[in-house]
Chain A
């Protein structure tokens, strides 16, 4: 697929990516490994702004035409923003999972176990 794994993000075993390079806390989305497995995403259920989420716990849902997946929080903290654009148009997650298809941002209090891009790619048998 066209969407390769980004080297400067970190990844959870549940196929979420975490980008802590920005000023707005940690930005979170799902990887191209996840979107390839899911197929066309038609519905996303995200935590609300202000909600406290806990690393490793379910915080939302991603639904495709054929299947549904729980979204696990890769970090703990307070949700500072959700991407309304993907709620309106979930295909953004398929088309640009690491960019416009981001899901929400979190003010991180602690991180769950995260992998480097290298480790994540190796674990899932995909290329960087």
Chain B
């Protein structure tokens, strides 16, 4: 056996320099296998990544996502500032709602993709990816110079726990007073609210968001590090009967891939144009005023793109992996960005950038699987969509 790992999440065991979340000892107690991801020692899996994937699709999974960043942006010009700093129109987001957006550089390259919650008229919470959090916090601070706004990186003090899967709502309701149940059941996708979670150790105030990265209904809970273990334990104890299973980054990656969601470092990078990545609608060229990257992004849109992000499904049983070349008639026409056997669908799936000429669903391409070409069909993303 000679092990060739692939994908950015399986980069070996934690190093001395990687950080631990407030839940590290909880993961150890559960027998987690750790991996270094974005500078953090994170659970890769606890027992079986396939079982964890299945739990999220069928019941619920519990994730520690405390490696993600949290940057608070507040002040009289917070909305105006974010319209300038990000590619989306954050001033149009209603209080209590969230928006997926991009932080681009002047060349229109993607520094990070992130979710921004509007907590108040002048109060936003920006959530970048773990590995990009310092760069995002720095870019926001730098861009804020001309605005009456405060940018505060709260990443180090904040934990994030996700409950994802069809049983998520029911599990959360068991820990919340009935007076707040309507706040939870009525919470829309990409919306957030403050709730109190009851635990044996006392009540915990959390920011509860109906967001996720799995393609299932689910929630993300933000709270201070000091209370993270208390919340984690309460969720696990209460949710076990409903099938709540601790889940690591391996299943998080296979879940997001099935849901056709991009992963920064795989599908997105400083060299990626949002238009090539299919994220054109996220770029609000119609908003008023200048924003970082506007002229470059306008030019990119005008020019059109030569490649496009597509979904691929294997005709055979072998999986394509990141960086494998995609070809048609012996000519390289693209490259795989993410690939894995799909636990839900039972066959390998992948995302790839391919020349626009070969990007139509139904096109058959070949992927070079370590010297042996294998046929794949171009399909529409996502691969998996929940039925309810």
**Footprint of B on A, CB under 8 Å?**
14-16, 30, 34, 37-40, 42-43, 45, 61-63, 65-72, 91, 94
**Footprint of A on B, CB under 8 Å?**
1-7, 9-10, 44-45, 48-50, 53, 250, 253-254, 317-319, 321, 340-341, 343, 370
CB distance from A67 to the nearest CB of B (A): 4
Asked if A72 contacts B2 (CB within 8 A), the reply is yes
Partner of A39, one of B2, B49, B319: B49
**A68 surroundings in chain B (CB, below 8 A):** 4, 6, 318-319, 321, 370
CB distance from A122 to the nearest CB of B (A): 18
20 A-B contacts, Cβ less than 8 Å apart?
Answer: A15-B1, A37-B3, A39-B44, A42-B50, A42-B341, A43-B317, A63-B318, A63-B341, A65-B49, A65-B53, A65-B254, A65-B340, A65-B341, A66-B7, A66-B340, A67-B4, A67-B6, A68-B6, A69-B2, A71-B1
Residue of A nearest to B48 (CB): A40
Residue of A nearest to B343 (CB): A65
CB distance from A112 to the nearest CB of B (A): 14
Asked if A67 contacts B5 (CB within 8 A), the reply is yes
**A37 surroundings in chain B (CB, below 8 A):** 3
Partner of A70, one of B2, B9, B50, B253: B2
Number of A-B residue pairs, CB cutoff 8 Å, is 72
CB distance from A75 to the nearest CB of B (A): 15
Q: How far is the CA of A63 from the CA of B372 in the complex (A)?
A: 15
Q: How far is the CA of A16 from the CA of B253 in the complex (A)?
A: 29
CB distance from A42 to the nearest CB of B (A): 4
Residue of B nearest to A42 (CB): B341
Partner of B341, one of A38, A43, A45, A91: A43
* Given A40-B50, A65-B53, A66-B49, 4 additional A-B pairs, CB 8 A: A42-B50, A63-B319, A66-B7, A72-B1
CB distance from B374 to the nearest CB of A (A): 11
Q: How far is the CA of A94 from the CA of B45 in the complex (A)?
A: 15
Asked if A67 contacts B50 (CB within 8 A), the reply is no
Q: How far is the CA of A38 from the CA of B250 in the complex (A)?
A: 12
| Most chain A beta carbons < 10 A, residue from B2, B6, B10, B318 | B2
**A72 surroundings in chain B (CB, below 8 A):** 1-2
CB distance from B322 to the nearest CB of A (A): 11
Asked if B5 contacts A66 (CB within 8 A), the reply is yes
Asked if A39 contacts B4 (CB within 8 A), the reply is no
Residue of A nearest to B254 (CB): A65
Asked if A65 contacts B3 (CB within 8 A), the reply is no
**A15 surroundings in chain B (CB, below 8 A):** 1
Partner of B319, one of A14, A30, A43, A69: A43
